[in-house]
Amino acid sequence: MKRDFLTLLDVSPSELAYLVQRAEDMKQQPKPGHCPLLGKSVGLLFEKASTRTRVSFEVGIYELGGQSIFLSPRDVHLSRGEPLSDTARVLSRYLSGLVVRTYSQETIEILAREADIPVINALTDLAHPCQALADLLTMKENVEDLAGTRVTYLGDGNNVANSLIIGCAMMGMHLTVACPEGYDPDPDFLDKGVRLAEESGGSVRMSRDPREASTGADFLYTDVWTSMGQEEESERRRKDFAPFQLNSERLSDAGGRAKILHCLPAHRGEEITDDVIDHPQSVIFDQAENRLHTQKALLEWIIE
Protein backbone atom coordinates (compact mmCIF):
# COMPACT_ATOMS: atom_id res chain seq x y z
CA MET A 1 0.00 0.00 0.00
CA LYS A 2 1.42 3.37 -0.97
CA ARG A 3 1.39 6.21 1.57
CA ASP A 4 0.65 9.87 0.84
CA PHE A 5 1.69 12.94 2.82
CA LEU A 6 -1.11 15.44 2.19
CA THR A 7 -1.28 16.78 5.74
CA LEU A 8 0.51 15.87 8.98
CA LEU A 9 -2.61 13.87 9.86
CA ASP A 10 -1.36 11.25 7.37
CA VAL A 11 1.31 10.21 9.91
CA SER A 12 0.97 9.07 13.51
CA PRO A 13 2.77 10.91 16.33
CA SER A 14 5.36 8.11 16.50
CA GLU A 15 5.93 8.24 12.72
CA LEU A 16 6.34 12.01 12.98
CA ALA A 17 8.89 11.62 15.78
CA TYR A 18 10.74 9.02 13.66
CA LEU A 19 10.89 11.36 10.62
CA VAL A 20 12.29 14.25 12.69
CA GLN A 21 14.88 11.97 14.33
CA ARG A 22 15.84 10.40 10.99
CA ALA A 23 16.28 13.90 9.51
CA GLU A 24 18.55 14.84 12.42
CA ASP A 25 20.64 11.72 11.79
CA MET A 26 20.82 12.43 8.04
CA LYS A 27 21.92 16.00 8.80
CA GLN A 28 24.89 14.61 10.79
CA GLN A 29 25.77 12.25 7.96
CA PRO A 30 24.65 13.96 4.77
CA LYS A 31 26.15 11.41 2.33
CA PRO A 32 25.04 7.99 3.62
CA GLY A 33 26.39 4.79 2.01
CA HIS A 34 23.05 3.83 0.50
CA CYS A 35 21.01 5.62 -2.14
CA PRO A 36 17.33 4.84 -1.51
CA LEU A 37 16.19 6.63 -4.69
CA LEU A 38 18.81 5.10 -7.00
CA GLY A 39 17.30 4.71 -10.47
CA LYS A 40 14.08 6.42 -9.41
CA SER A 41 12.47 9.62 -10.71
CA VAL A 42 10.35 11.99 -8.64
CA GLY A 43 8.06 14.61 -10.23
CA LEU A 44 7.66 18.13 -8.84
CA LEU A 45 4.35 19.60 -10.04
CA PHE A 46 4.34 23.23 -8.85
CA GLU A 47 1.50 25.68 -9.61
CA LYS A 48 2.90 28.38 -7.28
CA ALA A 49 6.32 30.02 -6.89
CA SER A 50 8.91 28.43 -4.63
CA THR A 51 12.53 28.97 -3.67
CA ARG A 52 13.16 26.69 -0.66
CA THR A 53 10.76 23.83 -1.33
CA ARG A 54 11.70 23.35 -4.96
CA VAL A 55 15.46 23.59 -4.47
CA SER A 56 15.54 21.49 -1.28
CA PHE A 57 13.45 18.74 -2.90
CA GLU A 58 15.57 18.73 -6.06
CA VAL A 59 18.85 18.64 -4.10
CA GLY A 60 17.46 16.05 -1.66
CA ILE A 61 16.30 13.73 -4.45
CA TYR A 62 19.74 14.00 -6.08
CA GLU A 63 21.53 13.30 -2.79
CA LEU A 64 19.38 10.18 -2.32
CA GLY A 65 20.49 8.91 -5.76
CA GLY A 66 17.37 9.79 -7.77
CA GLN A 67 16.45 12.40 -10.34
CA SER A 68 13.78 15.08 -10.12
CA ILE A 69 11.61 16.28 -12.98
CA PHE A 70 10.18 19.79 -12.48
CA LEU A 71 6.75 20.28 -14.06
CA SER A 72 5.21 23.75 -14.15
CA PRO A 73 1.59 24.11 -15.33
CA ARG A 74 2.96 25.57 -18.56
CA ASP A 75 4.89 22.38 -19.28
CA VAL A 76 2.12 19.84 -18.80
CA HIS A 77 -1.33 19.41 -20.33
CA LEU A 78 -3.20 20.17 -17.08
CA SER A 79 -3.43 23.83 -18.11
CA ARG A 80 -4.95 22.72 -21.44
CA GLY A 81 -7.68 20.70 -19.76
CA GLU A 82 -6.24 17.20 -19.33
CA PRO A 83 -8.06 15.86 -16.24
CA LEU A 84 -6.20 15.58 -12.95
CA SER A 85 -7.14 11.90 -12.80
CA ASP A 86 -5.58 11.06 -16.18
CA THR A 87 -2.48 13.08 -15.31
CA ALA A 88 -2.07 11.17 -12.03
CA ARG A 89 -2.53 7.79 -13.70
CA VAL A 90 -0.02 8.57 -16.46
CA LEU A 91 2.63 10.04 -14.15
CA SER A 92 2.32 6.91 -11.97
CA ARG A 93 3.64 4.86 -14.92
CA TYR A 94 6.93 6.78 -14.98
CA LEU A 95 7.60 8.21 -11.54
CA SER A 96 8.19 6.81 -8.04
CA GLY A 97 6.68 9.82 -6.28
CA LEU A 98 4.97 13.13 -6.97
CA VAL A 99 5.57 16.34 -4.99
CA VAL A 100 2.76 18.87 -5.54
CA ARG A 101 2.40 22.59 -4.77
CA THR A 102 -1.06 23.84 -5.64
CA TYR A 103 -3.98 25.96 -4.44
CA SER A 104 -6.84 23.77 -3.26
CA GLN A 105 -6.47 20.74 -1.02
CA GLU A 106 -9.03 19.01 -3.23
CA THR A 107 -6.61 19.08 -6.20
CA ILE A 108 -3.93 17.21 -4.29
CA GLU A 109 -6.50 14.79 -2.84
CA ILE A 110 -7.67 13.89 -6.37
CA LEU A 111 -4.09 13.41 -7.55
CA ALA A 112 -3.34 11.18 -4.55
CA ARG A 113 -6.51 9.14 -5.00
CA GLU A 114 -5.83 8.49 -8.68
CA ALA A 115 -2.05 7.96 -8.46
CA ASP A 116 -0.42 4.63 -7.63
CA ILE A 117 2.63 6.45 -6.28
CA PRO A 118 3.12 8.46 -3.07
CA VAL A 119 1.96 12.08 -3.34
CA ILE A 120 3.59 14.70 -1.10
CA ASN A 121 2.05 18.09 -0.30
CA ALA A 122 4.63 20.81 -0.98
CA LEU A 123 2.08 23.51 0.08
CA THR A 124 -1.59 24.06 -0.53
CA ASP A 125 -3.82 26.88 0.69
CA LEU A 126 -4.73 24.61 3.62
CA ALA A 127 -1.51 22.96 4.72
CA HIS A 128 2.28 22.98 4.50
CA PRO A 129 3.27 19.72 6.21
CA CYS A 130 6.85 19.65 4.83
CA GLN A 131 7.42 23.03 6.49
CA ALA A 132 6.19 21.66 9.82
CA LEU A 133 8.74 18.83 9.63
CA ALA A 134 11.56 21.38 9.33
CA ASP A 135 10.01 23.54 12.07
CA LEU A 136 10.03 20.58 14.47
CA LEU A 137 13.63 19.62 13.63
CA THR A 138 14.77 23.22 14.13
CA MET A 139 13.07 23.42 17.52
CA LYS A 140 14.41 19.99 18.52
CA GLU A 141 17.95 21.25 17.83
CA ASN A 142 17.41 24.08 20.31
CA VAL A 143 15.73 22.41 23.30
CA GLU A 144 16.33 19.39 25.53
CA ASP A 145 12.93 17.93 24.72
CA LEU A 146 10.20 19.04 22.31
CA ALA A 147 7.56 17.91 24.80
CA GLY A 148 6.69 20.79 27.09
CA THR A 149 8.29 23.42 24.83
CA ARG A 150 6.26 26.64 24.52
CA VAL A 151 5.70 28.04 21.02
CA THR A 152 3.83 31.21 20.07
CA TYR A 153 2.71 31.76 16.49
CA LEU A 154 1.75 35.37 15.69
CA GLY A 155 -0.22 36.44 12.61
CA ASP A 156 -2.27 34.70 9.97
CA GLY A 157 -3.94 31.35 10.72
CA ASN A 158 -2.77 30.06 7.34
CA ASN A 159 -1.35 26.84 5.83
CA VAL A 160 1.86 27.14 7.88
CA ALA A 161 -0.10 27.69 11.11
CA ASN A 162 -2.47 24.79 10.39
CA SER A 163 0.44 22.36 9.98
CA LEU A 164 2.33 23.77 12.96
CA ILE A 165 -0.75 23.13 15.12
CA ILE A 166 -0.80 19.42 14.28
CA GLY A 167 2.98 19.04 14.57
CA CYS A 168 3.22 20.72 17.99
CA ALA A 169 0.13 18.89 19.24
CA MET A 170 1.54 15.49 18.27
CA MET A 171 4.88 16.24 19.98
CA GLY A 172 3.39 17.28 23.34
CA MET A 173 4.27 20.94 22.92
CA HIS A 174 2.35 23.99 24.17
CA LEU A 175 1.29 26.16 21.22
CA THR A 176 -0.45 29.54 21.40
CA VAL A 177 -1.76 30.92 18.10
CA ALA A 178 -2.40 34.68 18.23
CA CYS A 179 -4.46 35.97 15.28
CA PRO A 180 -6.74 38.94 14.71
CA GLU A 181 -10.42 38.06 14.53
CA GLY A 182 -11.37 36.70 11.12
CA TYR A 183 -7.97 35.12 10.47
CA ASP A 184 -8.13 32.01 12.66
CA PRO A 185 -6.61 28.70 11.58
CA ASP A 186 -8.78 26.07 9.92
CA PRO A 187 -11.37 24.99 12.56
CA ASP A 188 -10.91 21.29 11.77
CA PHE A 189 -7.12 21.50 12.24
CA LEU A 190 -7.67 23.47 15.43
CA ASP A 191 -10.10 20.85 16.83
CA LYS A 192 -7.83 17.98 15.88
CA GLY A 193 -4.84 19.83 17.33
CA VAL A 194 -6.61 20.35 20.66
CA ARG A 195 -7.55 16.66 20.78
CA LEU A 196 -4.07 15.41 19.80
CA ALA A 197 -2.50 17.71 22.39
CA GLU A 198 -4.75 16.25 25.08
CA GLU A 199 -3.37 12.80 24.22
CA SER A 200 0.28 13.95 24.10
CA GLY A 201 0.30 16.12 27.23
CA GLY A 202 0.64 19.33 25.21
CA SER A 203 -1.86 22.11 24.54
CA VAL A 204 -3.14 24.28 21.70
CA ARG A 205 -4.89 27.55 22.42
CA MET A 206 -5.91 30.73 20.61
CA SER A 207 -5.28 34.32 21.73
CA ARG A 208 -6.24 37.76 20.42
CA ASP A 209 -3.52 39.48 22.45
CA PRO A 210 -0.02 39.25 20.93
CA ARG A 211 1.62 40.54 24.14
CA GLU A 212 -0.05 38.01 26.43
CA ALA A 213 0.49 35.24 23.86
CA SER A 214 4.25 35.91 23.66
CA THR A 215 4.88 35.89 27.42
CA GLY A 216 7.23 33.09 28.41
CA ALA A 217 7.53 31.60 24.91
CA ASP A 218 10.56 29.46 24.02
CA PHE A 219 9.94 30.12 20.31
CA LEU A 220 8.23 33.00 18.52
CA TYR A 221 7.07 32.14 15.00
CA THR A 222 5.47 34.21 12.25
CA ASP A 223 4.69 33.97 8.54
CA VAL A 224 3.62 36.44 5.86
CA TRP A 225 0.31 38.26 6.30
CA THR A 226 -0.56 37.81 2.62
CA SER A 227 -0.09 34.29 1.30
CA MET A 228 0.24 33.35 -2.36
CA GLY A 229 -3.11 33.87 -4.05
CA GLN A 230 -4.33 36.57 -1.61
CA GLU A 231 -2.44 39.49 -3.16
CA GLU A 232 -5.53 41.65 -3.73
CA GLU A 233 -6.24 41.60 0.04
CA SER A 234 -2.78 42.77 1.03
CA GLU A 235 -3.68 46.37 1.93
CA ARG A 236 -6.47 45.32 4.31
CA ARG A 237 -4.30 42.58 5.77
CA ARG A 238 -1.44 45.02 6.49
CA LYS A 239 -3.83 47.07 8.65
CA ASP A 240 -5.51 44.11 10.37
CA PHE A 241 -2.25 42.37 11.25
CA ALA A 242 -0.19 45.42 12.30
CA PRO A 243 -0.51 44.71 16.08
CA PHE A 244 0.71 41.14 15.49
CA GLN A 245 4.14 42.07 14.10
CA LEU A 246 7.05 40.01 15.46
CA ASN A 247 9.37 42.72 16.77
CA SER A 248 11.67 43.46 19.71
CA GLU A 249 8.68 44.17 22.00
CA ARG A 250 7.35 40.65 21.50
CA LEU A 251 10.85 39.30 22.07
CA SER A 252 11.04 41.10 25.42
CA ASP A 253 7.50 39.87 26.32
CA ALA A 254 8.89 36.38 25.85
CA GLY A 255 11.58 37.18 28.41
CA GLY A 256 14.25 38.03 25.85
CA ARG A 257 15.44 34.45 25.46
CA ALA A 258 13.01 33.12 22.82
CA LYS A 259 14.33 31.74 19.55
CA ILE A 260 12.83 33.19 16.37
CA LEU A 261 11.24 31.18 13.56
CA HIS A 262 9.88 32.17 10.14
CA CYS A 263 9.24 29.78 7.25
CA LEU A 264 10.41 32.42 4.71
CA PRO A 265 10.01 34.21 2.37
CA ALA A 266 9.72 37.16 4.79
CA HIS A 267 8.36 40.60 4.10
CA ARG A 268 10.92 42.42 6.23
CA GLY A 269 9.39 45.35 8.08
CA GLU A 270 5.90 43.90 7.72
CA GLU A 271 5.23 40.72 9.76
CA ILE A 272 8.78 40.73 11.18
CA THR A 273 11.34 43.47 11.73
CA ASP A 274 14.91 43.39 10.40
CA ASP A 275 16.45 43.38 13.88
CA VAL A 276 14.44 40.28 14.87
CA ILE A 277 15.04 38.31 11.67
CA ASP A 278 18.79 38.99 11.98
CA HIS A 279 18.86 38.65 15.79
CA PRO A 280 21.42 36.24 17.33
CA GLN A 281 18.44 34.18 18.61
CA SER A 282 16.99 33.83 15.11
CA VAL A 283 17.19 30.24 13.84
CA ILE A 284 15.39 31.12 10.62
CA PHE A 285 18.19 30.14 8.26
CA ASP A 286 18.75 26.82 10.08
CA GLN A 287 15.01 26.29 9.63
CA ALA A 288 15.38 26.88 5.87
CA GLU A 289 18.34 24.44 5.72
CA ASN A 290 16.32 21.85 7.63
CA ARG A 291 13.82 21.66 4.78
CA LEU A 292 16.49 19.63 2.95
CA HIS A 293 17.17 17.15 5.75
CA THR A 294 13.54 16.58 6.72
CA GLN A 295 12.41 16.09 3.11
CA LYS A 296 15.21 13.56 2.55
CA ALA A 297 13.94 11.62 5.57
CA LEU A 298 10.39 11.86 4.23
CA LEU A 299 11.36 10.73 0.71
CA GLU A 300 13.37 7.78 2.04
CA TRP A 301 10.47 6.71 4.28
CA ILE A 302 7.64 7.21 1.78
CA ILE A 303 9.28 5.98 -1.44
CA GLU A 304 11.80 3.35 -0.34
- Binding positions for ligand NVA, rule: CB under 6 A: 123, 158-160, 223-224, 227-228, 263
When CB distances are held under 5 to 8 angstroms depending on the partner's kind, the choice from ligand NVA, ligand CP, none that residue 162 binds is none
Q: Per the residue annotation, which of 101, 237, 250, 262 is the catalytic one?
A: 101
Report the residue number, 224 or 297, with the smaller CB distance to ligand NVA: 224
DSSP H or E segment with residue 49: none
Query: CB 50 → ligand NVA: shortest distance, Å?
Result: 8
Is 287 one of the annotated active-site residues of the chain?
A: no
- Partner whose binding site includes residue 158, from ligand CP, ligand NVA, none (CB under 5 to 8 Å by kind): ligand NVA
CA atoms of 111 and 108, how far apart (whole Å): 5
> With contacts defined by CB under 6 A, how many residues of the chain interact with ligand CP?
9
Q: Does 51 bind ligand CP (CB under 6 A)?
A: yes
Residue 263 annotated among the catalytic residues of the structure = yes
153-182 binders of ligand CP (CB under 6 A):
none
CB nearer ligand NVA, residue 121 or residue 149 = 121
From the list ligand NVA, ligand CP, none, which binds 51 (C-beta under 5 to 8 Å, kind-based)?
ligand CP
Output the smallest distance, CB 300 to ligand NVA, in A: 23
84 or 123: CB nearest ligand NVA? 123
Which residue among 87, 92, 96, 131 contacts ligand CP (CB under 6 A)? 131
Active-site position among 4, 135, 223, 253: 223
Nearer to ligand NVA by Cβ, of 50 and 200: the residue is 50
- Is 128 in the active site? yes
Catalytic residues: 101, 128, 131, 223, 263, 291
